[in-house]
Amino acid sequence: MTLDLDTVGGLLLSALPETVLTVWALALLLDAAWRHREPGAQRRTGLLALGGIALAFAATVWLWASGARVPGIASSLAVDSFRFAVDAIVLVSAALAVLLSMDYLEREAIRIPEYYVLILFAAVGMMLLAGGEDLFVVFLGLELMSVSVYVLSGIDRRSPVGGEAALKYFLLGAFASAFLLYGIALLYGAAGTTKLRLIASQIGPLQLRSHVMLLAGMGLLLVGFAFKVAAVPFHMWTPDVYDGAPTPVTGFMSTAVKAAAFAALVRVLLEAFGAAETHQLWAPVIWWLAAVTMVVGNLVALAQRSLKRMLAYSSIAHAGYLLTALVGSYGGSTAGAAAFLFYLLFYTLMTVGAFAILALKGRGGERDVLIDDLAGLAETHPWLAFGMAVCMLSLLGFPGTAGFIGKWYILVAATGGGYGVLAVILVLTSVVSAGYYLPVVMTMYMKPASHDQAHAGVLVPRLAGATLAVMVAALLVFGFWPNRVLDAAQAGSHAFLPPGITTITLPVPVGN
C-alpha cells in the first residue's frame, strides 16, 4: 500500500497508530479528571488504557501487514517495517505495564488514575522517537517520552526515594537532552537540513566527512543517546532511578524506554551516517561503548545483593548486547538490525517478567528484597519460582529459551560484520552473568525459607498471574520455534537496505 503524503488521508494513515493513541490518551485524561473520585475509577482507567493500546496495536499491524510505504523520501515520520516492528514492541511493553500495575497500585494505595494516561503519552513519544525521519521529530518524541517517565518514576508522592529518583532523572535527562539538541543544531549547520536521508546525501557532495561541525554534532548526538540507553559511562542514573521508582514503572523504563531510544539511534546512524565514509567514524565509538558497557554492567551486577539493583545493572549489561547488534548493522547486511529487533522483543518479556515477580514478592517499592529473601519460594509458590527461573535463564542466554536465540543472532551479526573480538567479549561477559542469574535460581530451589511465614504475603492476582504465564510460555515456545519471529525481525530490518539492493524471496534456478 503506497501512501500519498500530499493528501490529508495519506498523512493520517502514515501516523495512524500515534494519532489513535494520542486522541485516546487525551479523552482518557478528561475522563480521569472528571471521574477520579468514583469507586473503581483507577481500574476502569487502566482497562480503558488497554483498549487504546489495543487499537494502536491493531493499526500498527494493519499498516505493517499491508506493506505501507511512501514513494521517495519520507518527510518527517518513517513509513517502513522497522518502525512498525518497534511500535509493536513498545505497545506490548505498555500493555504489560498497565496489566501489572492494576493490582500493584491498589496494593500500594497509589490512587492516581492519570498514571495510565502518562503511560499512553510515554508510548506516543516512544513511537515518534522510533519512527522519526527528521531530527526535530526525534527530539520531540524524546521529550514527550522523557517528561512522562519523569513523572511516572516519582508517582508515589509518599516515597522520598521515589521523589529523589524523579528529580535525579529529570536533572540528568535535561542535561542529556541539551547535548542532543546542540548536536542537532550543529548537524543542521553543517548539512543545512535535519532530515536523516538528506543529511546522508549531503555528506559526499559537500565533503563533510571531516567537517568539524558534523563531527561535533555526531559526537553530541551519541552522548545524548548513550544516556537514554544507559550505556557506560553515561549509566550512573540508572540504578538509583530504577531502584526508587515503583517496580512496574521500572520494568516499563528498562524495556520500552530503552527500545525506543535504541531504535532512534539505529535509524539515525544507519540512515544519516550509514555510508562507508561515515560508518568508519561512529563504528569504533559504538564498539568501545558496547565492550565497556557489557564488562562494567556484568561485573557490578555481581556485587549486588538487592534483587532490584541487580536487575538494574543487568539492564545496563543488556544495553551492551544491543549495542553489539548495532555495530553489526552495516551496508547491505541487515543481520544486526534483525538481531536487534528479535532480542529487543524477548528482552522486554523476560525483563518485565522478572520485575513483575519482584513486585509480587515485595512491598513499598521492593527496594529491600534481597536475593536471599527468595529462599524456599519454590516450595510455597512453585509456579512463581518457575517463572522467575525461566526469566533468569533467558536473561543469561540459556539454551531452550528465547534469550539464547537472541544472543546467538547477535553473535552471528557481530562475527559476520567482522567484529569477532566484540563477539568474544559478549560470550565472556555472558559467562560472568551466570554469577548473578544462577544464584537467584539456586536460592529459590536449593535453600530453605528463613521461617514458615517467609512468603505468606506473596499473593498472585489473577490478572498478573495470567500475564506472567503468557510471558513465560512465550520465552519457552520461541526458544524452540523462533522462525516466525526471526522472519518478522528480518523483514523489519529491510528498511535499512541500501537503494538498489533487494531481497530474494524465490529460489534461484541453478544451471541452464
Does pLDDT of 504 surpass 60? no
Can you read off the three cell numbers belonging to residue 430? 555472558
Tens of pLDDT, residues 250-304: 999 989 998 899 999 988 888 888 776 677 788 889 899 999 999 999 999 998 8
**What pLDDT is stored for residue 393 in this prediction?**
93
**What pLDDT is stored for residue 508 in this prediction?**
36
**What pLDDT is stored for residue 280 in this prediction?**
79
**Can you name the residues that pair with 134 across neighbouring β-strands?**
195
Average pLDDT value for residue range 304-322: 90
Q: Which residues, including other chains, have CB under 8 Å from residue 408's CB and lie 6 or more apart?
A: none
Residue among 301, 276, 284 nearest 421 (CA): 284
**What pLDDT is stored for residue 334 in this prediction?**
64
The H or E element containing residue 469 is: helix 462-480
CB 429 within 8 A of CB 298: yes
**Per-residue confidence band for 417, with pLDDT thresholds at 50, 70 and 90:** confident
Residue among 156, 153, 87 nearest 119 (CA): 153
**Per-residue confidence band for 506, with pLDDT thresholds at 50, 70 and 90:** very low
Per-position b or e across 434-468, b if 16+ CB within 10 A of its CB: bebbebbbebbbeeebeeeebbeeeebeeebbebb
**Which conformational region is residue 333 in: left (phi greater than 0), alpha (psi within -120 to 50 degrees), or beta?**
beta
Tens of pLDDT, residues 327-385: 876 544 567 778 888 898 899 999 999 998 888 876 665 677 888 888 888 888 889 88
Q: Which residues, including other chains, have CB under 8 Å from residue 462's CB and lie 6 or more apart?
A: none
Does pLDDT of 459 surpass 90? no
How buried is 201 (Cβ within 10 angstroms: 0-12 exposed, 13-18 middle, 19+ buried)? middle
Can you read off the three cell numbers belonging to residue 96? 504489560
State the Cα–Cα distance between residues 162 and 56, nearest whole angstrom.
30
CA distances from 390 to 16, 273, 447 (A): 36, 39, 18
State the Cα–Cα distance between residues 474 and 401, nearest whole angstrom.
9
The H or E element containing residue 38 is: none
Q: Which residues, including other chains, have CB under 8 Å from residue 391's CB and lie 6 or more apart?
A: 350, 351, 353, 354, 357, 472, 475
**What pLDDT is stored for residue 505 in this prediction?**
37
**What pLDDT is stored for residue 164 in this prediction?**
86
Tens of pLDDT, residues 375-389: 888 888 889 889 999
HSE-CB at 21 with a 13 A cutoff on CA atoms is 31
Does pLDDT of 22 surpass 80? yes
**Per-residue confidence band for 193, with pLDDT thresholds at 50, 70 and 90:** confident
Average pLDDT, the chain: 85
**Can you name the residues that pair with 306 across neighbouring β-strands?**
370
State the Cα–Cα distance between residues 117 and 115, nearest whole angstrom.
5
**Which conformational region is residue 200 in: left (phi greater than 0), alpha (psi within -120 to 50 degrees), or beta?**
alpha
* End-to-end C-alpha distance for the chain, whole angstroms: 36
Tens of pLDDT, residues 50-69: 999 999 999 999 998 888 77
